[in-house]
C-alpha cells in the first residue's frame, strides 16, 4: 500500500466513525458552532470582545488574530483548494442528512479549520486565557467538518497545519520587518 492509500483508508475509518458515533444532540451543537464560525463570524465576534474588554493586550490579540485568520483564509481557500481540487468524502460514508448540506468546492484543506486554528493560535501567544477559551470552539469546528461529511480528517489536519503556519508567520512578521529595516 502507498502512503496515499493508507491516508485514504484512515480517513474513511475516522469519518465513518465520527459520522455514526457522535450522538445527534452533540452533532446539533457542533453544527451550531460551525454555523457561528461560517464566514469567520465567531472569530470576529471574539476579536470585538477582546478589543473591548482586554485593553491594549486585547486589541493587540484581536488585530494579530484577525490578520492570521485572513492569511489562513487566503492560503487555504484562495490557494490550496484551487491547487488540490480534491472531491468531498463520498456521501455513502455518512449515515445522516447533514451530508447533503456541504459546499461544492475542493475538500482539501478545511478553510474553516485553518481560520479557527490561525486565530486561536495567534491570540494564545498574546493572551493565553482568551486563546484557551477560543480553543474549545476551534476544536469543535474541526470535528464538525469531519462529522458532517464536509471534509476528510486529513483535510482538517491540513487546515490546522496551515492555520499554525499562518499564526507563526503573523507573529514573526513584525520582528522580521523591524530587523531588516535597521
pTM exceeds cut of 0.85: yes
CA-to-CA distance for 121 and 136, rounded, in angstroms?
12
Of the candidates 14, 28, 43, the one whose C-alpha atom is nearest the C-alpha of residue 151 is 14
Q: pLDDT, tens digit, for every residue of 45-79?
A: 999 999 999 999 999 999 999 999 999 999 999 99
CB-count exposure of residue 9 (10 Å: 0-12, 13-18, 19+): exposed
C-alpha distances out from residue 79 to 18, 106, 108, 126, 130, Å:
28, 11, 11, 28, 29
Amino acid at each position: 500500500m502507498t502512503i496515499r492509500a493508507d491516508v485514504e483508508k484512515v480517513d474513511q475509518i475516522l469519518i465513518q466513525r465520527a459520522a455514526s458515533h457522535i450522538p445527534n444532540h452533540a452533532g446539533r451543537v457542533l453544527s451550531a458552532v460551525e454555523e457561528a464560525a461560517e464566514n469567520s463570524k465567531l472569530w470576529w465576534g471574539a476579536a470585538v470582545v477582546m478589543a473591548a474588554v482586554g485593553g491594549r493586550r486585547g486589541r493587540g490579540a484581536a488585530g494579530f488574530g484577525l490578520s492570521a485568520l485572513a492569511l489562513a483564509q487566503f492560503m487555504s481557500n484562495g490557494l490550496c483548494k484551487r491547487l488540490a481540487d480534491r472531491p468531498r468524502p463520498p456521501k455513502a460514508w455518512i449515515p445522516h442528512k447533514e451530508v447533503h448540506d456541504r459546499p461544492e468546492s475542493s475538500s482539501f484543506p478545511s478553510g474553516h479549520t485553518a481560520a479557527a486554528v490561525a486565530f486561536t493560535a495567534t491570540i494564545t501567544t498574546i493572551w493565553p486565557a482568551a486563546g484557551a477559551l477560543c480553543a474549545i470552539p476551534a476544536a469543535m469546528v474541526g470535528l464538525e467538518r469531519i462529522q458532517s461529511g464536509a471534509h476528510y480528517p486529513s483535510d482538517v489536519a491540513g487546515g490546522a497545519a496551515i492555520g499554525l503556519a499562518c499564526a507563526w508567520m503573523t507573529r514573526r512578521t513584525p520582528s522580521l520587518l523591524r530587523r531588516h529595516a535597521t
